[in-house]
Structure 1
Amino acid sequence: MAAFQEILDVLPARYRTLDVSNVQELRLRAGQSPAVVENGAERRLAGLVRQEELSEILQRATQQSAYACTQSLRQGFVTLPGGHRIGVCGSAVVKNGELAGYQALSSLCIRFARDVRMDSARLLPNLTDSCLILGAPGAGKTTLLRACIRALSESGQRVSVCDDRGEISAMTQGKAQFDLGPQTDILTGLSKDEGMLLLLRAMNPMWIAADEITARRDLAAMETISYCGVRLLATAHAKDERELRLRPLYRELLTLGMFRRMFVLLPDRQFRCVEVKNE
Structure 2
Amino acid sequence: MEEILRLFTDDIKQAVISKVENRWDKLQEIRIRLYQPLEIAFDENTEWIETVKPNKKDGIFLLNQMSQFSLYRMEDELREGYITIEGGHRVGIAGKVNTAQGHVKALQYITFFNIRIAKQLTGISSGILPHLYNRSNNNYFNTLFIGAPQTGKTTLIRDVARVIGTGWKHTPPKKVGVIDERSEIAASIKGVPQHNLGLRTDIMDACPKAEGMMMMIRSMSPDVLIIDEIGSTQDVQALMEAIHAGVQICCTIHGQSMDELNKRPSLHDLLRNDVFDRYVLLSKRQTPGHVKSIYNGSRQLIWG
TM-score, length-normalised on structure 1? 0.91
1:49 pairs, out of 49, 54, 70, with 54
1:278–1:86 CA distance, 2 compared to 1 (3 A)? closer
Deviation at 1:181, TM superposition (A): 0.7
CA distance in 1, matches of 2:48, 2:124: 36
Structure 2 counterpart of 1:161, which letter?
V
Cα deviation 1:182-202 (Å, max 9, x = unaligned): 111100232211110111111
Alignment of 1:252-271 (within 5 A): 252-268=269-285, 269-271=289-291
1:239 alignment partner, SS class? coil
Structure 1 residue 64 corresponds to structure 2 residue 69: yes
Query: Contact conserved, 1:163 with 1:211, CA < 8 A, in 2?
Result: yes
CA distance in 2, matches of 1:185, 1:61: 26
1:16 alignment partner, SS class? helix
CA distance in 1, matches of 2:274, 2:31: 42
Structure 1 residue 146 corresponds to structure 2 residue 150: no
1:51–1:208 CA distance, 2 compared to 1 (3 A)? same
Cα deviation 1:132-170 (Å, max 9, x = unaligned): 101111111111111111110011100001111112111
1:100–1:52 CA distance, 2 compared to 1 (3 A)? farther
Deviation at 1:258, TM superposition (A): 1.6
Query: Contact conserved, 1:73 with 1:100, CA < 8 A, in 2?
Result: no
Quote the residue 1:225 is aligned against. 242
Structure 2 counterpart of 1:223, which letter?
M
Deviation at 1:9, TM superposition (A): 1.3
Cα deviation 1:50-84 (Å, max 9, x = unaligned): 11211111101111114224343122111111111
Query: Contact conserved, 1:123 with 1:151, CA < 8 A, in 2?
Result: no
Structure 1 residue 275 corresponds to structure 2 residue 296: yes
Deviation at 1:259, TM superposition (A): 0.8
Quote the residue 2:10 is aligned against. 13
Deviation at 1:95, TM superposition (A): 4.6
Structure 1 counterpart of 2:197, which letter?
L
Query: Contact conserved, 2:145 with 2:281, CA < 8 A, in 1?
Result: yes
- What is the Cα-based RMSD across aligned positions, in Å? 2.0
The number of equivalent residue pairs is 276
Percent pairwise identity:
29
Structure 2 counterpart of 1:253, which letter?
L
8-17 vs 113-122, which moves further: 113-122
Deviation at 1:100, TM superposition (A): 4.0
Unaligned runs of 5+ in 2: 134-140, 168-172
Structure 1 residue 106 corresponds to structure 2 residue 126: no
Unaligned runs of 5+ in 1: none
CA distance in 2, matches of 1:66, 1:146: 29
Alignment of 1:1-279 (within 5 A): 4-17=1-14, 18=17, 19=20, 21=24, 22-39=26-43, 41-45=45-49, 46-95=51-100, 98-119=103-124, 121-128=126-133, 129-155=141-167, 156-268=173-285, 269-271=289-291, 272-277=293-298
14-23 vs 146-155, which moves further: 14-23
CA distance in 2, matches of 1:110, 1:267: 20
Structure 1 counterpart of 2:155, which letter?
T
CA distance in 1, matches of 2:124, 2:46: 31
Cα deviation 1:15-43 (Å, max 9, x = unaligned): 32322523211111111112212237542
TM-score, length-normalised on structure 2? 0.84
Deviation at 1:96, TM superposition (A): 6.0
CA distance in 1, matches of 2:34, 2:205: 32
